[in-house]
Each structure stands twice: as structure tokens, then as C-alpha cells.
Structure 1
Amino acid sequence: MKSYLCAIGTANPPHKIPQMQIADFMATALQFDETETRKLKALYRVSGIAHRYSVLQDYERQNGDFTFYPNHVTLDPFPTVQQRMDVYKEHAVNLSEEAVRNCLQQVPAVTLEELTHLITVSCTGMYAPGLDIELVERLNLARSVQRTAVNFMGCYAAFNALKLADSICRANPEAKVMLVCTELCTIHFQKYTQPDHLVSNALFGDGAAAVLMQGKPCQELSLELQSFHCDLEPAGKREMAWHIGDTGFEMTLSSYVPDLIKNGIKQLTERLLQGLKTTVEEIKHFAIHPGGKRILEVIEQELSLTRHDNRYAYQVLRDFGNMSSATVLFVLKAMMQDLTLKDANEPVLSFAFGPGLTLESMLLKVHYAPADASL
């Protein structure tokens, strides 16, 4: 039995905000002086990000007139967890629905009514009845659709959802699984001035990605899932973390994370490829989660990759920032759009990282339907 990733749909909120405009907002909100502001803007300039998307307009507004944050120089009283979850509940379902519909536009032969399973993924909001049930109602899915929620696992969570979808499709070739990753990272801005928090505020954006998976290919191009491997780097347990505080979800992203990934990435790759007839040197296609520019650079160093090899990760980082679990799916989509018949049977190597420190890896293979392969 096999499983295939047939299509990826994406969606972003309407507010596309230049990176340096966000830097201005942050400097004002944190009440930085001239020297602190100059250092902050330098951090934003070297981030590799041109712009990010947010469900909040406030990051575009430098002189108050906010719709979410209080119109006060200190942003007090600072929004509570409940207020942030209200924003999540308002916007997450719309973004998710858009991503699903975008996904199915690419595979006209598959209808919403045919979906047998729905997997929702998020670490930036939660409520019950949740996003999964709201999507069933919005999309008029069968009430009997089997639902699973993968919550609060961070940037690598898409891999766990893909593993689940892979198992479902291998067990039931008739299954049609819709997987939706939706993250509203920008609703969790915190007014901390420690370096880890400044880095987090400089990276994250909002977005959603939806994936259709089946036990058989459903159009000319698809990606066949081959193998997964996960590893933990316990030394990084405190270096990348995600906690719920009194005024929102609080991200810790230490500057040591790239070094921890550098130390573990080669071993992770070797274990993934062990027993398979593939070596890193033979792989031409890469879909790496852009947790940050430095993370991409250390992976290239360790695996002897070029920036061109890693171009899709840089492209997504530049255009969207880090959207947590949805990001690696944006990278896979960008890569798939460039694949052609000459890439048939080529391997694809993918990575993502998150709290723990967790390192996830996946090997896929480019598949072309036999009926079209002779064209």
C-alpha cells in the first residue's frame, strides 16, 4: 500500500506588511530609544524576510488608531489570552476554508463530499467545538468524516499530520484525507525585550496550508511518501519552547537553536536514508522549513547544499516569514510548481524543527501518473 500527496492549497490574511514597517511598530511598542531601535532594525534587515501577513491591521499603523491593541503608548491594558483566542476563532476558520478550497481547485476530480478524513493542525489557538467541526459545517463535509486535531506541537506539526494521513491512506486505499495547518502567530506579540523574544517577533507570520492525500495518485503530478524519521535533541529543550502565559502564547527561540540543529541534522538524515537506495548526494529537491535564515545556512553547511538547492525555503521565508506548522507545506508547494516530467522518480528530502528540540525528516518521491508519463 502507498500514499500520495496530491495537491497543496495555501491562504494568507489580507494584511501584507513590509518587514521594516513591523520593525517600526515593535520599536514603538517596546518604547526603545534610538540605540535600541537601530539594533532592532538591524535584526529585521538581516532576517531574510521582505514582508509577512497578519490578521491584524495594527502592525501597519504607527500612530495608534489600533483595532486590537489599546490606543495607548504602552499598549496597556495588554490583550489577554481570551482576547487573542477570540481573534483566532474569528479568523482561523476563514483562512482554513480558503486553503482547502484552493487545494481542491487543483484536483477537480475530487469533491468535498468525497473527503473521508479531516486533520487540523495548529499551535496558535484552540477552542472546542473546534476548528475541525467549524470546517465540517463551512465546507458541508459529511458529518461522518473522521476528524483528528494535532495541537500545540509547533513548527514540525505538519509532519505528524502527514504521518497520520500516510497511515490512513496505506490502511485504506479509498481514503481521501484533507490535512489543514492554520497558524495565526502574529496575535501573540509579547512586550518582552529579551533577545529570544525580539528574534521571535522578527520571524513569525500568519498563514494556512491544506493538503489532499490519497492511497493512489489523483492527477499527473503527485508526491509519494517514502519514509519518516524523528529525533530529539534534549539539550535544546529550553532553547525552543512555546508556553501559555497570562497575556498570550509565549515563544522562546534561542540563538543556540541553529547550532543544535547543525549538530543533529547529519545524523537525522543518515537515519532517514538508512536502508533506502538513496544518498544525500543523489537528492536534487529539498523542502526545508525556514525556521530562520541562520538555520537554513547551517543545514547547507552540514549537508553540503547550495543556496540554490535550498531556494524554495528562502523564497517562502522572504515572502511570508515563518508561519509555524504551515510553512514547510508552503515550501513543498513552491517546489511542486516547478517539477516537470523529467523529475519523475526523483527523491525529495524535507525537514522541520520545533519544541523539544524536535527534528523531523521525510523522504518523498516525485510521481507521474502512467497515463500521462508517455506524453
Structure 2
Amino acid sequence: MTIGTVLTDSRPADPALAETKQPPVAAIAGVGTASAGRSYTQREVLDAFAITDPRVRSVFLNSAIERRHLTLPPSDPDGGRLTEAQGELLAKHKRLALDMGARAVRACLDDAGLDLPDIGYLCCVTTTGYLTPGLSALLIREMGILPTTSRVDVVGMGCNAGLNALNAVAAWAVANPGKVAVLLCVEACSAAYVIDSTMRTAVVNSLFGDGAAAVALVADSPDSAYGPPGLPPAPGRPRIKAFASHLITDAVGAMRYDWDDSQGKFSFYLDPDIPYVVGAHAEQVVDRLLSGAGQRRSDIRHWLVHSGGKKVIDAVRVNLGLTRHDVRHTTGVLRDHGNLSSGSFLFSYQRLLRERVAEAGDHGVLMTMGPGSTIETALVQW
């Protein structure tokens, strides 16, 4: 052999090896939900706190909410409700979050045919309380999840946080094909209430409920007809195709927590104009999401929008040209549970699955909105 000779393999290439291998795609393998406390009608909540102001009662009774799960403070000797200090609210948040969170995770794993040792990554989302160590560490200890499990906590992002976290969890699943990632959204909204006679708190207190929702994600090949590795065939498991976000910087203070010196606790604020602000920006973020995937709004068969409130849902529906049937699960969750903050869209997703109407090839849009003010979206395909 002389210097400069190039050695080549004259054997014919294997066509199977020559094919371009498709990157893994995250798929939703299972979903589970849980609630805590008692299910109250709006009138029962008003009566529990002896609220007689006709303006406040009107806000509650015209909210399109029939029932919510709440853990109200204990009764005092006179039949009223005791005032809870901030420390007591934080303790309530921890207790309810651990209870609801554990039940939602177990239900999610059961739905996917998985067990606790299968979890490789746990992401916990909440806005209704602050814990150190975070909820993920406490759940790993309490539930007996493997201590080698990777984890992250998303705290304080509000109602849009579920999709923010889903983006990160899907990325972890893609980076770790075949391993199970679990996203848990748990909101103990009963632990974030201020009870007074102002219209500011009336709007908040009329809206939110306690609930938790979890989904398990596993990445597989987009060419696979059998879903994530190790799981049984399940054409009902949608793959996550894309995300798109939009921060409305002019409305950064429209949804926020403030410290109330007179109450000695945090108080949540919702700007009355937020439904119209969100509605006005819904088209651009949804169209950007869809155009990046070569889709149009008319191609979307399933819409799962955050149950933010009657006015928010109506504003989004009108601006996107959706029908009331398109948002039936969104309005159904609002009616039966109220606004469940970060986990609301997963309650709607579970209702869609139970309908058994999603077919192979269908596209769906997940949409949440919250503090920032932010609109988050995701495109999925069955």
C-alpha cells in the first residue's frame, strides 16, 4: 500500500441502515386526577362565610360554576369560620398537596400500566404555597419513589404553568427515550384565600377550587405503531409535536400575588380586563403554533383550553372562531370544579379521553393562560 491510498468498503450498503432514523417523540402514556375536601355549591360557600352583599353574591352565582372542591377553615363557636393565618395556610397547602398529588400520580401510573419504580423524572407544579424542600422531594419520600429519580419544582407561575412544565418534561423524555417522566400539577387553592368584603377578593374566591392532575410521558420513535417502549399498544396516546408561547408584557401585573399588610397574608389579584386581553392575543400565538407544523385552525379537531373563567373561555372561543362544542370539556371542568389553576387543562384532557372520540391522526391544541400575562399552547397528534 502506498501513502495516500484510500481504503473503501466495496460491500453493498444495508438499505435498512441507510434509512434516516427519526428522532424520538414524547407521548402522553397516562393521566390521573384527584380532588380534596368537600364539593360545595356556590351558594353553600356564600352561606358558610355569611356573605350577604348582593354584589358579591352576584359574582359567585353568575360564574358558570356549580360546584368546587374546597377545604374551608373550621367553624368558630358562633357558627362562623375561623380566620387562618399565613402559616396555617402554608400548612394546609402542604397537607393537601401531598394528599392530592400522591393520589393523582398513582392514578396516572395505573392508567399507563406503570409502577412507582418506573418513574425516572418528576416535575411538580404549584402556585398555592411555597415549600422547601420542594413538593417533589416530599412526594418521593412519602410515596416511596426511587431516591435516584431526577426532579424539578415549578413554583409561582400560575395557571399557565402546566404547559410550561409539560414543555420541559417532554424535552427530558426525548433526551431519555424509553424512560418515564411524570408531570404533576397540584393546586390547593383553599390555602390561598383571603376572606374580606372587597370585590377584589370576591372575584378570586368565587373562582378557584382544589385539585391535582398528573400525566406520564415516554418518548418513542414517531414511526412506532405501538406507543412508548414497554407499554401495550395504545393508539389513544397522543404525541406532543410543538409548543408556542406569548408573553403579554403590557399586562405583566394583571394577575399577581400581593402582600396584604392588614390581613398578614398574600392576596391574589385578577384584573377585570384580563379576559379581553387574553382573547385579543389568542389568535397570534395559536396561528404561530399551527403554522410551524403546517396546520390550520380548521385542521384541529380537539381544543383543550384552560378553565380560567366564563369570560376568559368566551373571549378565547370568540377570537379563535370556536364553537361551544369545541370547548365543552373546558366549560364542563369549570362547572364541576371551578378554576383548578395549572391542572385545569389536564382535567379537560381526561374528559376527552373518556369520550373515546379521538381517532388516529387527529390533531389537538392545548392552551393555558396565566400570570405574565402569558398564553401557552401545545400541539398534539393521536
How far 1:356 moved relative to its partner?
Answer: 1.2
Matches within 5 A, 1:62-73: 66=74, 71=77
Q: 1:242: which partner in 2?
A: 257
Q: 1:295: which partner in 2?
A: 312
Residue of structure 2 aligned with 1:172, choices 162, 172, 176: 176
How far 1:73 moved relative to its partner?
Answer: 8.2
Query: Which amino acid is 1:101 matched to?
Result: R
Q: 2:67: which partner in 1?
A: 51
CA separation of 1:149 and 1:71: change in aligned 2, threshold 3 A: farther
Q: 1:83: which partner in 2?
A: 88
C-alpha distance in 2 between matches for 1:339 and 1:164: 28
**Which structure shows the higher helix fraction?**
1
For 1:138, what is the secondary structure of its paired residue? helix
Matches within 5 A, 1:78-227: 78-108=83-113, 110-216=114-220, 217=227, 218-219=231-232, 220=234, 221-227=236-242
C-alpha distance in 2 between matches for 1:158 and 1:22: 27
CA contact 2:49–2:80 (8 Å) conserved in 1: no
Q: 1:335: which partner in 2?
A: 352
Query: Which amino acid is 1:296 matched to?
Result: I
Q: 1:12: which partner in 2?
A: 35
Unpaired stretches in structure 1, ≥5 consecutive residues: 59-65, 367-375
For 1:251, what is the secondary structure of its paired residue? strand
Q: Is structure 2 residue 40 aligned with structure 1 residue 40?
A: no
Q: Is structure 2 residue 319 aligned with structure 1 residue 314?
A: no
C-alpha distance in 2 between matches for 1:296 and 1:97: 30
Q: 2:18: which partner in 1?
A: none
CA contact 1:204–1:322 (8 Å) conserved in 2: yes
For 2:112, what is the secondary structure of its paired residue? coil
Query: Which amino acid is 1:146 matched to?
Result: S
For 1:205, what is the secondary structure of its paired residue? coil
Q: Is structure 2 residue 352 aligned with structure 1 residue 347?
A: no
Query: Which amino acid is 1:360 matched to?
Result: E
How far 1:236 moved relative to its partner?
Answer: 1.6
How far 1:174 moved relative to its partner?
Answer: 2.1
How far 1:12 moved relative to its partner?
Answer: 0.4
Relative to the length of structure 1, the TM-score reads 0.87
CA separation of 1:325 and 1:199: change in aligned 2, threshold 3 A: same
Query: Which amino acid is 2:309 matched to?
Result: G
Query: Which amino acid is 1:297 matched to?
Result: D
CA RMSD of superposed structures (Å): 1.8
C-alpha distance in 2 between matches for 1:323 and 1:26: 21
C-alpha distance in 1 between matches for 2:216 and 2:252: 33
For 1:214, what is the secondary structure of its paired residue? strand
CA contact 2:258–2:266 (8 Å) conserved in 1: yes
CA contact 2:34–2:213 (8 Å) conserved in 1: yes
C-alpha distance in 1 between matches for 2:63 and 2:265: 24
CA separation of 1:23 and 1:10: change in aligned 2, threshold 3 A: same
How many residues align? The count is 346
CA-to-aligned-CA distance 1:195-226 (integer Å, 9 cap, x gap):
33211110001011111111133341211101
- Please identify, of 210-219 and 277-286, the stretch whose mean Cα deviation from structure 2 is larger: 210-219
Q: 1:2: which partner in 2?
A: 25
> What is the percent sequence identity of the aligned residues?
27
Relative to the length of structure 2, the TM-score reads 0.86
